[in-house]
Structure 1
Amino acid sequence: MSDDSRTSGPPVLVVADFTGNQGKAERHVGPLARVAAPTMVCVNPPSAIDGVSVETPPTVGFRPLDLLVLTLFAVIESVRGEYAAVCSFSLFPYGCTALVAGRLAGVPTHLGVIGGDIDVHATSRYGPVVRWLMSRFAVVSVPGAQSRAELEALGVTPGTVAVLTNPIRPAAFPATPPTADRLIDLLWVGRFSAEKDPLQFVDVVAEVAAAADGEGVRAVMVGDGPLRDAVESRIRARSADASVELPGWVDDPGRYYRDAKVYVLTSDREGLPLTLVEAMASGVAPVVPAVGNVREVAVDGMSAVVVPDGGTAALSRAATELLRDEDRRLDLAESATAVRDTCSYEAAAVDWRRILAAAGVDECGPAETTSDSSRPIRETAR
């Protein structure tokens, strides 16, 4: 972030821990620094983020005790620091810590819903407790309108539910022209875990290859995780060894995006996957199921092919058709790059300004942007 985008806005305490993931920390807290002056309390601090101060409580290496110390540290910091609000990401444990700290300091609190807060925790057997806790926040932010509707259907009633853009830094994903000579036919990026369903991608590749009339299909699965062995077994079972490459986890997947023709999403559940946004920003035509909030950035027939049921056969047909119809694929890929503006840091900063204002925090920075500033928030009765 350049110095021009920094602000001396209201002081905000952020309770979070991104386990050393520099990119995730920057995406979630960096845009906030454009409209406020955040101080982040975390156990595993990231490297420096422009405009963000970091406070690290002492640790002993035993997670339950470290979390208790973090809570005490955050409470003391929130009271001592005279912050305008306490913000957090993920209800357990950091949202709960922020809620306690904010209540004791007498300032509004924010919860950024990420991961399984809705799909896993809010709908579990202990869901009533989760929904009650969510309803105690002044503002709950979600990655899209679908998540907002799900919270409403679950009866979650915080002061406000607002959309917060899941941003990328466009400079990290240069706008490479979606040319016909890209070498990767099908690309998958993510964690090899059950909710991402990497096994389905192997099945999709096998079916696309079977329909390719012996021309060969090159597919790459970027990532790693607990299902790695299962993925390798499925590749052998589907005789896809010659088609699927497994480079493992890479810090910079950009080179794979820039060389890919079609990005395939196979997740069972999602908020708004960052890999989808990154692929679209890099000029890759997406084939995606209608899960979570993906349709807010992937518009069927305009910037993506959206498969409503997410079935293997339908995903395979859509991918096959795009690989055969070069003109259509290139048109979708070109339109997809518009996500560079709608999912930018500037757009997220505008959302943060609106979120803080809804919480009653005034005098935020300007957060100038060319993106749509009319994104709605839903006011709910506490």
Structure 2
Amino acid sequence: MHVVCHVITKLELGGAQEVAMQVVAGFDRRRFRPVLLAGPGGQLIADAHALEGVEVGTIPSLVREIRPLQDLRALWELVGAFRRLRPKIVHTHSSKAGILGRLAAWLAGVPCILHTIHGYGVTPAQPFWQQKALIALEWMVGRITTHWIAVSQADRRQGIEWGLFTASKVSVVRPGIDPTAFAARIESPERDRLRAMLGVAPDQLLVGTVSCLKPQKSPEDFVRVAALVCQRVPAARCVLVGDGALRPKVEALLLAQGLQDRVTLLGWRRDVAALLKAFDVFVLTSQWEGLPCAILEARASRIPIVATRVGGAAEAIVEGIQGTLCPAGDVRAMAERVCQILEDERFRADLRAGTQELPEEFTIQETLKQYQSLYAYLLHATRPSEDVMKLQPNRL
């Protein structure tokens, strides 16, 4: 049985975190012994420790912010953990854990080192010099990476363009979800009851989003879209599910726009599958992405989607069928499309009543299947011959 360590910076509510947890929970225990390592804190810590048969460890110094001395401690904490666990595979997620985790795995002599790109840490908001520095750092750590995984074809193409890897060293594996709860039907009386709990009357229309309140997701743009929509459609109400560092800015913008009675901040919720069934339109205003699981959840819930054309968003929905995509930051274009959908009752009803299922490639079952197949292939490909093993000392 091979030990497989997944490493992520923080177990907060997010697509990458939930994918990592579902994957380690679903491993074939006859072949793999799963371990999940993460920095301290996060809303999913208790959920992680509740995973049956999964060893969960905390790396105290592993934090998202760049702190050189603390990052060095985190590196050696990871090296120590890998030397104790002796994994055959280390699989990292997110930018900080990706850099430190892969370097630590190499120092500890781990034979297979993988990294999943859930969107790059290189973003449009960064100055040019910082972008170049981060690309160079990814390139250097890439030299010790056995294989890369991209969640979208867009990220795969970008990595090849930057020279981070060749086409043979990267696979596209989607960040799947379990669509069961999202695809479940809901009767009209139950939907009306759920909407009433959100303060939405039967004759009103609900526009919502689910995202962390951080720069990547641009929640201020959601408020600006909401302002334009509410101005044009008097029956419109909006909800924002999520929380984060930008909450004070979002609250101030709501006050400045006079939207306190039209837009509700729900904070973090664990009943997202139910809440989505109350939405008439789902909106995602991200500035950059890998492939957002929130779009997959909305698609599985049969809700019209208006999102920004970033990362793999165009690979997750069919334009004009499940929704539409607009340029990042184009608030007016997004608001216009939301209003068109709100004014098209038949389109909304037809989509909600439709039978189209989420494609298998976007399910967590397929993600798990592809990960395990890739692991088996890489373990076989990196297995040294008996003659070589006799000549090499144990690197651990």
TM-score class normalised by the smaller sequence: 0.7 to 0.9
Residue type of the alignment partner of 1:52 = V
- Of 175, 197, 200 in structure 1, the residue corresponding to residue 221 of structure 2 is 200
Q: 1:365 matched to which residue of 2?
A: none
1:199 Cα deviation after fit: 1.5
Q: 1:34 matched to which residue of 2?
A: 27
3-state SS of 2:131 partner:
coil
1:330 Cα deviation after fit: 3.1
Is it true that 1:316 corresponds to 2:324 in the alignment?
A: no
1:333 and 1:143, CA in 2 relative to 1: closer, same or farther beyond 3 A?
Answer: farther
Is it true that 1:165 corresponds to 2:158 in the alignment?
A: no
Q: 1:252 matched to which residue of 2?
A: 271
1:24 Cα deviation after fit: 5.7
2:211 touches 2:242 (CA, 8 Å); kept in 1?
A: yes
1:145 Cα deviation after fit: 0.5
| CA deviations over 1:108-147 (Å, ceiling 9, x no partner) | 2101223543437983434212222124311111211111
1:276 Cα deviation after fit: 1.8
1:139 and 1:113, CA in 2 relative to 1: closer, same or farther beyond 3 A?
Answer: same
- Of 282, 287, 292 in structure 2, the residue corresponding to residue 263 of structure 1 is 282
Q: 2:152 matched to which residue of 1?
A: 144
Q: What pairs with 1:1-382 in structure 2 (closer than 5 Å)?
A: 10-19=2-11, 25-32=17-24, 33-35=26-28, 36-44=32-40, 46-55=48-57, 63-64=70-71, 67-77=74-84, 81=86, 83-102=87-106, 104-105=108-109, 107-114=111-118, 116-119=120-123, 123-157=131-165, 160-177=169-186, 183=200, 185-212=206-233, 215-308=234-327, 311-333=330-352, 338-339=357-358, 341-361=360-380
Aligned residues with identical type, % of pairs: 24
| CA deviations over 1:61-113 (Å, ceiling 9, x no partner) | 995475144223234135xx3x4322111242454333432464251210122
1:47 Cα deviation after fit: 1.3
Q: Distance in 1 between matches of 2:295 and 2:207?
A: 13
Q: Distance in 1 between matches of 2:282 and 2:179?
A: 18
| CA deviations over 1:17-50 (Å, ceiling 9, x no partner) | 4336698655214325434332234454631323
Q: Distance in 2 between matches of 1:242 and 1:86?
A: 49
Structure 1 unmatched runs, 5+? 1-8, 363-382
2:276 touches 2:301 (CA, 8 Å); kept in 1?
A: yes
Q: Distance in 2 between matches of 1:39 and 1:173?
A: 28
Q: Distance in 2 between matches of 1:200 and 1:57?
A: 35
Q: Distance in 2 between matches of 1:164 and 1:178?
A: 34
1:20 and 1:232, CA in 2 relative to 1: closer, same or farther beyond 3 A?
Answer: closer
Task: Report the aligned-residue RMSD.
Answer: 3.3
Q: Distance in 1 between matches of 2:263 and 2:176?
A: 29
1:67 and 1:232, CA in 2 relative to 1: closer, same or farther beyond 3 A?
Answer: same
1:197 touches 1:266 (CA, 8 Å); kept in 2?
A: yes
1:178 and 1:94, CA in 2 relative to 1: closer, same or farther beyond 3 A?
Answer: farther
1:86 touches 1:102 (CA, 8 Å); kept in 2?
A: no
Q: Distance in 2 between matches of 1:336 and 1:221?
A: 27
1:191 and 1:40, CA in 2 relative to 1: closer, same or farther beyond 3 A?
Answer: closer
1:336 and 1:204, CA in 2 relative to 1: closer, same or farther beyond 3 A?
Answer: farther
3-state SS of 1:359 partner:
helix
3-state SS of 2:148 partner:
strand
TM-score, normalisation: structure 1: 0.79
Structure 2 unmatched runs, 5+? 64-68, 382-396
* Structure in which a larger fraction of residues adopt helix: 2
1:18 and 1:226, CA in 2 relative to 1: closer, same or farther beyond 3 A?
Answer: closer
2:62 touches 2:74 (CA, 8 Å); kept in 1?
A: no
3-state SS of 1:220 partner:
strand
* More displaced 10-residue stretch of structure 1: 321-330 or 112-121: 112-121
1:176 Cα deviation after fit: 3.0
1:143 touches 1:271 (CA, 8 Å); kept in 2?
A: yes
| CA deviations over 1:296-318 (Å, ceiling 9, x no partner) | 11110122222246511111111
